[in-house]
């Protein structure tokens, strides 16, 4: 009997799954596998990290489905180049299938796994799955990758339209999934303890069933998305980003949702999908951005901020209400509204004059939807060091951003209760006498704006 492994990573679903489709199409028996990688887990300093529970919930969702087919999901713990190869050999598998991952570590890991599998006579197949267009599929007129988003988006949409907006839909039949006796099922064993973590309860529960419910709920609100997505106090976003990051939904699910409506909200929604592809393309083709500025000259900047300012930013005690509310929300829930990501990032880099890499690392530790490509791209955009970033002299004013996007102070009140008694006017810049339990601003915005312009002026733009 022809046997294969489908190695699941950031694609935790059983529908519209490229690698699983091809494995099931080419083999009589397929075993699903997930491997907890200590190289990744060891970077998580908080042993109650919300993402571990979200992933385990997603795996439990999968296991509950495949059990109905008399099959199972095998979970491993250890270096993939050892565990995947060893398990494939134990099953006498002919091949291992997976979907491509574009992060630098993942590419090195997969290359090593492929080499070791080849050494023992097992084939290794990878497929495009987490993006619509990858690598060099969207090129400019000179045959080079784009470095500016808008022309990239236009070409991306043009390519999609040339396919009559047709996306592959990998129809999955689970009848060939392997029946495998699994004494360490994620439904019966405390995998948190096995890998050294503590169970948590993410605000957004993991799994495809939960993701589909959220997508269905969001569809009637999509027409208002263009405006509502900027207001953190409104439930105007889909809250689907963790599900996309971990693959509980496919990127094609998202595109189909956007194409199903003809309104401004759907257009903006689809544009967000294109941004995601753009940042993955940049990381894949310019892997140095993981640690360096895309615009290399910007690594010459001498960041002038203080460590104590960074600590105040992390803990939500800068004295700037919208910034502090956003950071407290992140720390408590692992979530942050996209508008607030821009506000807090601009504030750290251009008001506190702190290296974008510090903020990027902190977000990487806290975000439930952390994705290296998107996180790196967003931080480099906000700090003006990246690909098609905002110009260095565009500096978000935290007070005006607060007045515009949280005009009644609803979001601020939710996360800064010590300001809940203030009026909608005072809450954005609290008078000290009216807010004795809140922090005084750690810096002057106006003064630091001038310092930021001087700091950036050493770079030729």
- Catalytic option among 275, 290, 365, 451: 275
User: Tokens 């494995």 label which residue?
Assistant: 23
Concerning whether 381 is annotated as a catalytic residue, the answer is no
**Distance between CA atoms of residues 62 and 397, nearest Å:** 45
Distances in Å between the Cα of 115 and the Cα atoms of 79, 120, 121, 296 are 14, 9, 10, 33
Helices and strands in the chain, H and E counts: 20, 5
**Distance between CA atoms of residues 287 and 281, nearest Å:** 10
- Catalytic option among 292, 303, 397, 451: 303
Concerning whether 227 is annotated as a catalytic residue, the answer is no
- Count CB-CB contacts under 10 A for residue 266: 19
Concerning whether 331 is annotated as a catalytic residue, the answer is no
Concerning whether 210 is annotated as a catalytic residue, the answer is no
Instruction: Choose among 231, 235, 238: nearest CA to 266.
Output: 238
- Catalytic option among 338, 365, 397, 451: 338
| Cβ 433 vs Cβ 382: under 8 Å | no
| Cβ 232 vs Cβ 406: under 8 Å | yes
Question: Cα 217–218–219 angle (5° rounding)?
Answer: 100
Please give the backbone phi and psi of residue 360, each rounded to the nearest 5 degrees, phi first: -60, -45
User: Tokens 């075993």 label which residue?
Assistant: 31
- Catalytic option among 137, 264, 272, 365: 272
Exposed e or buried b for every residue in 47-66, given b needs 16+ CB within 10 A? eebbbbbbbbbbbbbbbebb
- Catalytic option among 356, 360, 376, 381: 356
**Distance between CA atoms of residues 210 and 214, nearest Å:** 6
Distances in Å between the Cα of 12 and the Cα atoms of 73, 102, 168, 235, 247 are 11, 17, 18, 26, 5
Please give the backbone phi and psi of residue 203, each rounded to the nearest 5 degrees, phi first: -60, -35
**Distance between CA atoms of residues 73 and 177, nearest Å:** 9
| Cβ 138 vs Cβ 281: under 8 Å | yes
If you ran DSSP here, which 8-state letter would residue 433 be given? G
Determine the distance from the C-alpha atom of residue 1 to the mean position of all C-alpha atoms in its chain, rounded to a whole number: 39
| Cβ 3 vs Cβ 94: under 8 Å | yes
Which residues are bridge partners to 224 per DSSP? Answer: none
* Catalytic residue ranges: 272, 275, 303, 338, 356, 379
């Amino acid at each position: 009997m022809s046997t294969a492994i489908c190695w699941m990573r950031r694609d935790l679903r059983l529908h519209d799954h490229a690698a699983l489709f091809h494995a099931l199409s080419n083999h009589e028996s397929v075993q699903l596998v997930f491997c907890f990688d200590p190289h990744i887990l060891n970077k998580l300093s908080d042993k109650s990290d919300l993402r571990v529970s979200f992933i385990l919930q997603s795996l439990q969702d999968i296991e509950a489905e495949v059990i109905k087919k008399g099959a199972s999901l095998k979970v491993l713990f250890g270096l993939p180049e050892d565990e995947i190869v060893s398990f494939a050999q134990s099953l006498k598998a002919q091949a291992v299938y997976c979907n491509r991952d574009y992060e630098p570590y993942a590419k090195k890991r997969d290359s090593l796994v492929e080499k070791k599998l080849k050494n023992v006579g097992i084939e290794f197949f990878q497929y495009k799955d987490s993006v619509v267009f990858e690598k060099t599929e969207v090129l400019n007129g000179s045959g080079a990758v784009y470095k500016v988003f808008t022309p990239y988006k236009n070409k991306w949409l043009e390519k999609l339209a040339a396919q009559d907006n047709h996306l592959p839909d990998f129809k999955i039949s689970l009848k060939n999934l392997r029946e495998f006796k699994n004494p360490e099922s994620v439904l019966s064993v405390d995998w948190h303890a096995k890998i050294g973590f503590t169970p948590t309860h993410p605000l957004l529960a993991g799994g495809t069933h939960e993701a589909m419910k959220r997508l269905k709920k969001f569809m009637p609100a999509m027409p208002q998305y263009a405006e509502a997505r900027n207001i953190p106090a409104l439930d105007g976003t889909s809250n689907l980003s963790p599900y996309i990051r971990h693959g509980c939904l496919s990127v094609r699910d998202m595109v189909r949702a956007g194409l199903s409506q003809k309104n401004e909200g759907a257009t903006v929604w689809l544009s967000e999908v294109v941004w995601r592809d753009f940042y993955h393309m940049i990381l894949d083709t310019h892997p140095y951005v993981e640690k360096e500025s895309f615009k290399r000259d910007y690594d010459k900047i001498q960041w002038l901020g203080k460590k104590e300012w960074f600590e105040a930013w992390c803990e939500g005690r800068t004295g700037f209400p919208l910034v502090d509310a956003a950071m407290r929300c992140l720390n408590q829930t692992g979530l942050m509204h996209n508008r607030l990501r821009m506000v807090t990032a601009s504030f750290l880099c251009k008001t506190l004059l702190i290296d974008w890499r510090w903020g990027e690392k902190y977000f990487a530790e806290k975000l439930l939807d952390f994705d290296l490509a998107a996180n790196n791209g967003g931080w480099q955009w906000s700090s003006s060091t990246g690909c098609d970033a905002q110009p260095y002299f565009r500096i978000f004013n935290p007070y005006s951003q607060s007045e515009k996007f949280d005009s009644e102070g609803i979001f601020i009140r939710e996360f800064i209760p010590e300001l809940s008694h203030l009026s909608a006017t005072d809450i954005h810049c609290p008078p000290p006498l009216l807010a004795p339990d809140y922090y005084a601003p750690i810096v002057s915005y106006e003064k630091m704006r001038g310092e930021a312009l001087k700091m950036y002026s050493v770079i030729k733009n």
